[in-house]
Structure 1
């Protein structure tokens, strides 16, 4: 079954809710989150302070899942977090595993 990397860019105010939501799902075995800065032309979605700084604070969640599961998670996320401003992308993975040692 092909694997996909699911990337979510989440506004900081939704970080805890999204983390809890992902942790509650049986089909998401784990994920990583890191603080990131968004840079781009979407000033209308930025606060005045973010516009002055030239970046917007966000949190990035990423996890690898079978493609069908990633699409299902994304569909459910779209229902539960509609209008939240979450940005996403899916990337096909050629290989996933752990180093043995």
Structure 2
């Protein structure tokens, strides 16, 4: 099987919901989360401060997972987390491991 890195981007107001959902998934052994800024020229959903700075806070999650499991997970998100405005991408993982 080929491993991929699934990256999820979420608004801060839905971060805890996404964390709880991911923690409840049996196929995941863990994931990494971090705070980030989303930058865009499309300011339709930005508040005034965000429009001036051109950025919004975001929560980012990284999951290393088998490719076929990633597709199933994405479909489950479409079914169970619809309406949260999540964004994602998949990239191949050429190597990974632990350096003790």
Bigger shift: 69-78 or 15-24? 69-78
Structure 1: 5+ residue stretches without partners = none
The aligned residue for residue 87 of structure 1 is 87
Aligned 1:8-87 pairs, distance under 5 A: 8-87=8-87
Structure 2: 5+ residue stretches without partners = none
CA shift, 1:82, in A, is: 1.1
Distance 2:36 2:15 in 1: 12
User: Secondary structure of the equivalent of 1:51?
Assistant: helix
Alignment RMSD, CA only? 1.1
Bigger shift: 47-56 or 26-35? 47-56
* TM superposition score normalised by structure 1: 0.92
Distance 2:54 2:41 in 1: 10
User: Secondary structure of the equivalent of 2:98?
Assistant: coil
Paired residues, number: 100
User: Secondary structure of the equivalent of 1:79?
Assistant: helix
* TM superposition score normalised by structure 2: 0.93
Runs (4+) of structure 1 exceeding 6 A deviation are: none
